[in-house]
Structure 1
Amino acid sequence: MHDQGGAMSSDASMPDPPEMEGSILESRVGGQLRSLMTIAAAVAASRQFEDFLALTAEEACRALGASSVSISRLDPERDELQTIVNVGEIDPSEEHRPADERHLLSEYPNVAAALKAAEPRLFSVDDPSTSPEDRAALTRLGRESAASMPIVVGDQAWGELWVSTAPGARRFTGDDLGLLGAVAEHVAAGVTEAEYMTRLAGYAYDDGLTGLLNRRGFEERLSDALADTAHEDERARPVSLVVCDVDNLKDVNDSYGHEAGDRMLVHVADALRTAAATAHGAVACRLGGDEFAILLDGHGPDVARRVAQMAVDRLARTQRHPITISCGVVSTEAGRLQPAALLRAADAAQYRAKHTREGSVVVGSTLASHPASEPGQRRSHRDRSVVDLQLLLEHCIERLDEGTDETPAQRLAGIAEVVSAALPVEAWAVLRVDVGPPSAPGGVQTVHCWAEAPPRGPVPGRDGPPAEYPPAVLRPAVEGETVHLFTDEDTEWDGLRPARGAVAVLLAGSGGHLLRLDVGDLIAARQLPSAVRLLVGAALQGS
């Protein structure tokens, strides 16, 4: 809603909003939320970036009632858009996954301007304001109307989401831009994740000295392998682990220097890499210092012992100065085994090998099953950062459907409680807002609020007189146009500070109410804006 110059009253005698009609899931907002859940699941589940884009485009096509959807990537060096995926009723000249469909931006100045300004576009064949280039494109494709939304990664345009309708179908309006923007945000999240994983694969998971997988990469591979076995049947494939310790490395370092010790470690890495190559899918790793490992996904203890013995024998034949390593082998044949438990068992077997005879291989007890979790085990950084938006939205929708007779503030508080239970939310507040004229500060009065125990710091407006939020921040958030994310990088809004322990603040509202979430993880916070916007819209519909 756009500002008409009037103020929204915060008078406590305002009439109660009408009850919400029907289930949230039965409303149009519910349909949008379901689409967003499907796209969120695609972000988490897709292993191939192109598959994720195709599923996202198909779901956007269904949710918007579009005839076709295209996702294109900007190539700034060539000044052109390269289409990656087309779905829906595409033109015979188009392909679903084109190998080389490119559009020069010099031929579409309106597209170039919108990408540069990060602004959406709406246009149709009979709209006088439609550019000749856009009208020609619609006519060539047999389309009547279209909308486009820039895909922004960081502060740069990454590409464009383009949707169209056939003649006679419902045309796009400004009401569709909210969901279109949410889809673009999820594409941006997928792009960020794909680029992040590509960078990690290049340097974060490699040991600099030996070129083997490092401990971080090993732990992720091990976790993935064991997680996969948990979804198999009773005869799940085994996962085996060899842990190796280089004998007498300290003596070599002390007698010949660390360069000689490094050469020794490289020899060990080469032997383990060669031995691992004889078992399909096996990977050699350097865990740190003089400790190495071989992970054998799909192989039992017999194969693991053979591979370990091959490496031992190869090193024993090293000219001039034979090298010995002591190896422990352990395997799980069925059930779910926690990574830490498997590693401890392999360490124990390696310890026995080292104290039995240098250069020996000891097979530990086969571990059939362990509890799904271990007391006190901490979640990995990846677990804390990645938001399961699908599950979060499902729980929020259930909470909203339970509270159809509640006030808007109570429904917003319900959303805050669900989100806080799933994410590192340091504090939240539901605010009744009075937005004055543009020249006056915006005053807020807390309706509901919560903070972790012990409290992690004050939330402005929780205690005492209403806090003053920057009007430029408050007005668009209350008008439902967007959800704003503020971090310590955003020095423009000095009047808005996160609660202690929080790194980001999300604001969303409508009709005189505002939900504030102070989030303690920036990666998680960046995945939330589109979901929070739709949830707040669902909570406040009819208010």
Structure 2
Amino acid sequence: MRCLGADAASLSRFDRAEGITRVLRNHGDLAPWEEPRPLHETYRIDGWRNLVTVLLQGRSWTGTLDDPDLPGPDRDLLVSLDKYAALSSPVFVGGQVWGELYVTRRAGRPPFEELDLMVAQTLMGLVGAALRHLQDRAVLHELAYRDRLTGLGNRRAVDDRLERVFARDPLAAPVGLLVGDVNGLKEVNDEQGHAEGDRLLREVARVLTAEVARHPGGLAARIGGDEFSVVLEGVDDEQMQEVTKRLTAEVEALAVGDGLSCGFAVAEQRPGGAPSPAAAGRALLRLADAMQYRSKRQSRATRNGRVADGLGTLARHQIGAADRAAGRELAGRVLTAVQAADGDTEERLAALAASVAQGLGAASWWLSDSDGRDLVIRRGEYLRQGDLGTGTMPVAAGDRYPLADYPASAAVLRGGVFFATLEDGHSTERAFLAANGYVSMLAAGTTRNGVGWLVEIMGDAVTQPLAPHEGLLLALVELAANGAPGGR
């Protein structure tokens, strides 16, 4: 402070993951509201043009109350501090902006000049070197929640944030999760070198930091090599769509790379009735990730001259010779199993579900009936439970699911079929898939003697395509419910 002839000085730490700077220490001639070691003095960079200059662009600035170009927030801050002139300089640690030095002078003192800027930059270089030494000693703690290349949070930070959000039951506010892949990173690395690829990742991180600064409590993270995410609270689908548009446009405008493929999901409660906060966080991530892959496929189709919106429909209804052959084999296998089943409708439908699941390499099958209010699971089997993660409770006989929460299931109980994936289908069915570690679901219903029955076949990454067998499953369920030809 003495080297710069300042009357007061503040040192702040920049949090890229949340788009805010936290004041660590205030010293000198302080305003009545300032504290030497504040606990809660933070500034969100959104709306502070000069903070963006310092923290995201790494450039110093000076200004005075007499300057007509001084932005309003900076002017208001100087007035509240009862000061006339300000100088701000970035603190670099390891080549990235670590924080900010902000010094001020009272009225009657001269403004800061170019020489003061040079002195401040030299001093902050020394401070940065000292901080680097201290940071190296705490590197293991830093690595636990931070991505070292970009300064954003990492996957663990996202998991912990979502777990804290879903620990509130009910949620205090809806939570949105965006997942985005950087397009063209491999090409940049291959053609221009990994240093340029790293620069692209840092530029994308800068864009995400500026975005989360718009949203109190937001978190930006790099969760994989070219994969980023943003967690926002108190948002709906429309707001998340606007965030997605801004991010894709700004990354598209970067000098390198080929834009950002984004997908998002919003939850107002634990998705799919996930039994624990950790399981709910994993389910939301699966939903957002699925929509991100859908966006990437649509972008690829658009570049190839195809109609992106028709991809899902074409893939679902174009059945080739291999699918027809598989269907014939499956029908024969199932009819044999149903004819061999003893007992009533439940026995026959259970034999059908087990045979279909085994024939398609499904992850599990479930048979439920309905009393008009709930679906009640009567039988089922995990053929592959998969990695559902800690805290996830498997589906079991006797579990009840309110029909009002699962409209697609309720709609087919009198006879019908539906297919859902993590990308397509009613939101509650998609959430159920995500919460239970599945990627697709084929279900058919029927009513027998006033009782509604539902057969569900759950698919994972290794299951054969389920969609081509919608019509076949519906026909087989009707046959089994009424007694298959040649059966009892």
Shorter-chain TM-score above 0.5? no
| TM-score, length basis structure 2 | 0.32
